[in-house]
A and B are shown apart, each in its own frame.
Chain A
Amino acid sequence: MRGFLIGTAIRERKRRGSEQAAVARLQLTSLIDIFTVLLLFLLKSVVVGGAVVSPFPGVALPPSTSTATFKESPVVVVTRSQVVVDGAAVCPTEDIVQSGELKVTALEQALGAVRQKTEALAERAGSARKFEGKLILQADETIPFHVLQKVMYTSQTVGFYDITLAVIQK
């Protein structure tokens, strides 16, 4: 009789335990609060229309009052030490500073490859994405103008006539 009672009590405890586990729910209210704040913050910083351009690490872009947006284009970055085309280092900036020529051969080759790639993609995709000669130029604010002049001249020799400067909004 005593053993039967003990067995019943254990079964009852197990049953109650399983019932509690079945109704347990996550408290999501605080997490929803966090997500709501995060969502509002992100909505404030989201870019609607135009391409998203982030400053290249180590480049201090000049401030400007311009508020125009970008179109999707290849990016040329001129840092104090390197010239970078679409994320790949092309040549040291010092070489351009020292050069007496307007055309920068290494940059010309890199941009030529970018153009070929864009044109090949355009061929595959039909007329939807043809080469438009657009280029975004990110340059450090301390770079002398003659360096930029050489970069822009070289870009134009490859067919990138529509150059847009990237600046930090004041």
Chain B
Amino acid sequence: MSLRSSKKKRGPALEPEELNLLPLMSLFVALVPALLYSAVFVPVAALGLDFPGTGGAATESPLALAVRLSDSTYAVEGVPDSAYTPIYRQTDPTAPLQALRAQLDDVHARYPTSGGAILVVSPQVPYRDVVQVMDQVREAGFGNSTLLGAQQ
């Protein structure tokens, strides 16, 4: 009797149902190559610049601000009624760039509506140093720089 009752209680074996992950897998297999195609592992950014005669902020600005970048100095020029002392470049560019930034901030504080600066670059100055100065000009609020080659 007791055996019969125990048999009645025992129903079909309940097994945990497994999720069907195949559609999710298909989605991932499609997504991963698409993302791999548009992923950038080295972040490359764009740096805009202007050229003389092609318009740009420096051409339209009332202030003819120029930053002269020679092998040995940075010099801020073209600001009326003021002469900024040239900054001597060093092996470690941090301090000279900070000094240049202070001068550019001062110019921007006096002429807040001016935009753009002309970078007059000596022929042998490395490209890295040009970009560093362009960064300082942009961060000081002058926008894009206009590149100009200095006479040798």
Give me the interface of A with B, judged by CB distance under 8 Å. 25, 28-29, 31-32, 35-36, 38-39, 42-43, 45-47, 50, 52-55, 61-70, 136, 139-146, 148-149, 152, 156, 161, 163-169
Q: Which of A31, A54, A66 contacts B25 (CB 8 A)?
A: A31
A–B complex contacts, Cβ < 8 Å, 14 sampled: A28-B22, A28-B25, A32-B24, A39-B31, A54-B44, A55-B44, A66-B47, A66-B135, A69-B45, A141-B131, A144-B125, A145-B127, A146-B124, A161-B51
Contacts of B29 in A (CB 8 A): 35
Contacts of A63 in B (CB 8 A): 128, 131
Q: Which of B38, B54, B126 contacts A161 (CB 8 A)?
A: B54
Check: B40 CB closer than 8 A to any chain A CB: yes
Given A28-B22, A66-B135, A47:B128 Cβ within 8 A: no
Check: B39 CB closer than 8 A to any chain A CB: yes
**Chain B contact residues (Cβ within 8 angstroms of A): what range?**
35 or more
Given A32-B25, A47-B38, A64-B47, A42:B32 Cβ within 8 A: yes
Check: B12 CB closer than 8 A to any chain A CB: no
Given A45-B41, A46-B35, A64:B135 Cβ within 8 A: yes
Other than the given A145-B124, A145-B126, 17 more pairs (CB < 8 A) read A25-B18, A28-B21, A29-B21, A42-B39, A62-B127, A62-B128, A63-B128, A66-B135, A68-B48, A69-B45, A70-B46, A143-B127, A144-B127, A145-B122, A152-B147, A156-B51, A161-B51
Check: B112 CB closer than 8 A to any chain A CB: no
Q: Which of A43, A64, A139, A148 contacts B45 (CB 8 A)?
A: A64
Q: What are the 6 closest A-B residue pairs judged by CB atoms, nearest first?
A: A146-B123, A141-B128, A42-B35, A169-B43, A35-B28, A165-B47
Q: Which of B41, B48, B132, B149 contacts A145 (CB 8 A)?
A: B149
- Shortest beta-carbon distance from A98 to chain B in Å: 13
In the assembled complex, the Cα of A53 lies from the Cα of B126 at a distance in Å of: 22
Contact (Cβ within 8 A) A136 B46: yes
Contact (Cβ within 8 A) B46 A166: yes
- Shortest beta-carbon distance from A138 to chain B in Å: 8
- Shortest beta-carbon distance from B82 to chain A in Å: 27
Contact (Cβ within 8 A) A167 B28: no
Contacts of B45 in A (CB 8 A): 64, 66-69, 166-169
Contact (Cβ within 8 A) B39 A47: yes
Given A35-B32, A66-B135, A156-B51, A164:B46 Cβ within 8 A: yes
Q: Which of B22, B47, B54, B122 contacts A164 (CB 8 A)?
A: B47
Contacts of B48 in A (CB 8 A): 68, 164-165
Check: B1 CB closer than 8 A to any chain A CB: no
Contact (Cβ within 8 A) A167 B131: yes
Contacts of A45 in B (CB 8 A): 39-41
In the assembled complex, the Cα of A139 lies from the Cα of B18 at a distance in Å of: 55
